[in-house]
Amino acid sequence: MTTTDADTNKSINEHINKNKNKNTPTAHQKPRLNFWQIWNVSFGFLGVQFGFALQNANASRILSDLGADLHSLSLFWLVAPIMGLLIQPIVGAASDKTWNRLGRRNPYILAGGFAAAIGMLLMPNSATLASFITPLFFGAMMLALMDASFNLAFQPFRALVSDMVPAEQRNIGYSIQSFLINIGAVFGSILPFVLTNVVGLENTASSAGSVAPSVIWAFYIGASVMLGSVLWTVFRTKEYAPGTHGLAPLEQSDTEQTLSDKLVEFFGLMKTMPSTMKQLALVQFFSWFALFIMWVYTMPAIAQHIWGIEAKWFDPDYLASIGTIPTHIANAKGSAGDWVGIIFAAYSFFAAIASLFMAKVASKIGRKLTYSVSLLAGGIGYLSIMLMQNPELIMVNLGITQIEVPQGAVDLFLPMVGIGIAWAAILAMPYAILAGSLPVKQTGVYMGIFNFTIAAPQIVSGIFAGWILTAVFDNQAVYIIMMAGVSMILAALSVYFVKDGTEDKIASQNAD
């Protein structure tokens, strides 16, 4: 063959390779996934968030029933971010260097699902099971077990989407993930209300130190749903082997590292984290500071602000001094607790709807602007809760049942629209922005490190929120919700400082 012939053949081959169907993967490319493949990758999130939603809407209620006061509630809730801070980076680093017949991320997802189910079965039974320690302390231990397990499953799920979904499909991938998360949250949040108002279970504790039957059975059902959805993802998703489809191969040194070597590597990675991660940290701080306050204090806030329950009825010392809680107070607290599940389901529902459109909106106006406007909507939603105080009782038809509640409680659906939009963005946009800036070999550990930006603001909130509520706001919980609104608006403004280089790169490639 002459040199000219060789050059001609080379040119033809280059032209053919350049114009190959983009759906045809190579060892260095991820194949495009169809809708149901992306759905299966993220489906386990539905169940994990089902459990998280039950916890978010009912943990303060359970801990209050077991004896926690308003000041200490945020301290008990500290176990959630602390578990995330400890678990996610460790699991991320470990899953990066794992490969067995279940895959790379799936073994950790499966272990987390089983452990979380155990915690969900035990926590609402703290008063019955705690023989040698106080029920409140046992409940806090089970909260810690649940959170550790949720985080054990959550972090590999995030990395799994990054492993399986090609860059050009990440917006849709994380949007589907956000949709499933919020569908799970809707049903998890509303479940105790349904068990009370449709099935007929009691929503008040039978005695001091016990938990309402509707909450106990909701946790039983939640454990089953969570485990079933996790198993669906594990057995319906075949992970790509290391060294294929753009994933880094496992090296022998990965399995031979000592614990000290791994710690040195871990802290070294923290020093050299991508600049995008550092920029997102400020946004994450303000947004997760606000979310933590909402989860901890919405129940006492609306019970006081809308149902008119005085702060003293959340003081365990006062309750102990009077012996028996008046029936009208117990019923009002039970109704407020159930309504928290309804409005949390509402913001999750609105988030699920928003997530369906968020990928398209982000493609048109950019991820940063989408993210910022969504957080601003959330901040306005928080602040508007102060306006919802009408105590007039009205009959509300929720489709599955009718219930009599104050008008102000119904008005809370409006703030939940903004909060839901913000929640959809928080679940999708930071990860879509971040994923393309991470080295493929260390995606899991960096996703774990990124969890510091979620855990740290919650820890700060947990340490100081209770003190602020007592010392500054005289235990009037609605004011600390207003403080959360200001924090969410600061998060929206902080998006300005984030540089989304991946978005520019993909736009350039599409133009070519």
DSSP string covering 326-349: -HHHHHHHHHHHHHHHHHHHHHHH
Q: Where are the alpha helices (DSSP H) in 123-194?
A: 126-129, 135-164, 170-194
pLDDT at 468 over 60: yes
pTM over 0.75: no
103 forms beta bridges with: 100
Tokens at residue 194, please?
A: 């349904």
98 occurs within a structural domain: yes
Report d(CA 440, CA 62) in Å as an integer: 42
Q: Provide the 10 A C-beta neighbour count for residue 240.
A: 17
Q: Looking at the 3D structure of the chain, how many domains does it have?
A: 1
Note whether 480 and 96 are within 8 A (CB): no
Note whether 464 and 199 are within 8 A (CB): no
Tokens at residue 471, please?
A: 């010392």
Q: What's the rounded mean pLDDT across residues 57-74?
A: 76
What per-residue confidence (pLDDT) applies to 325?
77
Q: What's the rounded mean pLDDT across residues 399-419?
A: 91
6 occurs within a structural domain: no
Strand-pair category, 393-397 with 402-406: antiparallel
Task: Compute the chain's Rg from CA coordinates.
Answer: 24
pLDDT at 262 over 70: no
| Percent of the residues in the chain that have a pLDDT greater than 90, as a whole number | 22
Report d(CA 3, CA 7) in Å as an integer: 6
Q: What's the rounded mean pLDDT across residues 264-271?
A: 66
158 occurs within a structural domain: yes
The residue type found at 242 is P
CATH of the domain at 385: 1.20.1250.20
Q: Provide the 10 A C-beta neighbour count for residue 24.
A: 9
Q: Which stretch of DSSP H or E encloses residue 467?
A: helix 452-471
pLDDT at 503 over 60: no
Per the model's pLDDT, the better-predicted residue between 252 and 181 turns out to be 181
Secondary structure (H, E, C), 281-322: HHHHHHHHHHHHHHHHHHHHHHHHHCCCCCHHHHCHHHHHHH
CA distances from 464 to 70, 269, 469 (A): 12, 30, 9
Position 123 confidence tier, pLDDT thresholds 50, 70, 90: confident
Report d(CA 53, CA 181) in Å as an integer: 9
57 occurs within a structural domain: yes
Q: Give the range among 81-95, 109-123, 208-222 with minimum mean pLDDT.
A: 81-95
pLDDT at 267 over 70: no
Position 397 confidence tier, pLDDT thresholds 50, 70, 90: confident
Tokens at residue 164, please?
A: 């399986």
Torsion angles phi and psi, residue 404, rounded to 5: -100, 120
Position 316 confidence tier, pLDDT thresholds 50, 70, 90: confident
Average pLDDT, the chain: 80
What per-residue confidence (pLDDT) applies to 464?
92
What per-residue confidence (pLDDT) applies to 2?
45
Position 419 confidence tier, pLDDT thresholds 50, 70, 90: very high
Per the model's pLDDT, the better-predicted residue between 443 and 350 turns out to be 350
pLDDT at 328 over 90: no
Tokens at residue 176, please?
A: 């589907």
Q: What's the rounded mean pLDDT across residues 341-354?
A: 89
7 occurs within a structural domain: no
pLDDT at 289 over 90: yes
| Percent of the residues in the chain that have a pLDDT greater than 70, as a whole number | 81
Q: What's the rounded mean pLDDT across residues 26-50?
A: 81
Q: Which of 80, 181, 173, 150 is nearest to 359 (CA)?
A: 173
Tokens at residue 21, please?
A: 């169907």
406 forms beta bridges with: 393
What per-residue confidence (pLDDT) applies to 477?
93
Q: What's the rounded mean pLDDT across residues 413-423?
A: 95
pLDDT tens per residue across span 474-498: 889 999 999 999 999 999 999 999 8
Contacts of 290 (CB under 8 A, 6+ apart): 378, 379, 382, 484, 485, 487, 488, 491
62 occurs within a structural domain: yes
Q: What's the rounded mean pLDDT across residues 90-100?
A: 77
What per-residue confidence (pLDDT) applies to 144?
79
pLDDT at 172 over 70: yes
3-class DSSP state for residue 447?
helix
What per-residue confidence (pLDDT) applies to 494?
95
Report d(CA 343, CA 207) in Å as an integer: 27
Position 206 confidence tier, pLDDT thresholds 50, 70, 90: low
Q: Which domain holds residue 305?
A: 34-239+266-511
What per-residue confidence (pLDDT) applies to 145?
79
pLDDT at 87 over 80: no
Note whether 464 and 297 are within 8 A (CB): no
Q: Give the range among 129-143, 270-284, 398-412 with minimum mean pLDDT.
A: 129-143
pLDDT at 27 over 80: no
248 occurs within a structural domain: no
What per-residue confidence (pLDDT) applies to 259?
55
Q: Give the range among 224-233, 256-265, 426-435, 462-471 with minimum mean pLDDT.
A: 256-265
Per the model's pLDDT, the better-predicted residue between 467 and 14 turns out to be 467
What per-residue confidence (pLDDT) applies to 1?
45
